Amino acid sequence: MNQIRFNRTAFLATGIALVAMWLWTPGDTLPLCGFRWLTGYPCPLCGLTRAMCQIVKGHWRAAMEYHALSPLVLGLLLMWPFPKFRPPWVHIAVLFLGYGIGRAFLRNSSMSFFN
């Protein structure tokens, strides 16, 4: 696939994803992920679907309560069609892993992101 065709496909896929997230509002009863089912702890990506659906609607606070890294994911989604802006994926993966570990250890504490 040549670069122009890839860029057009990426723009189209990004647009479809944003419109789908804007139209769809998932409930809190989405099936649990396998990691949470096995361990009882949220994985680093738990809540990200709900957060992205909230953030594209402009509900930033609700998005941050579901997943604190959702603005980063929105930025990555918007940068994806542009090949000149290739993010450092390893650093992003480490950030998500650290966030997931921190959230798993703080889940029973009285700390909240907006307290």
State pLDDT tens for residues 13-34.
888 888 988 888 777 666 667 7
**Amino acid in position 86:** R
Q: Could you give the CA distance from residue 87 to residue 70 in angstroms, rounded to a whole number?
A: 16
Averaged pLDDT of the chain: 81
Q: Tell how far CA 28 is from the center of its chain.
A: 16
Rounded to a whole number of angstroms, the CA Rg of the chain reads 16
Q: Which long-range contacts (CB under 8 A, 24 or more apart) does 33-37 make?
A: none
pTM: 0.73
Question: What angle do the packed helices 48-55 and 70-79 form, to 10 degrees?
Answer: 70
Q: What SS3 state is found at 105? A: helix
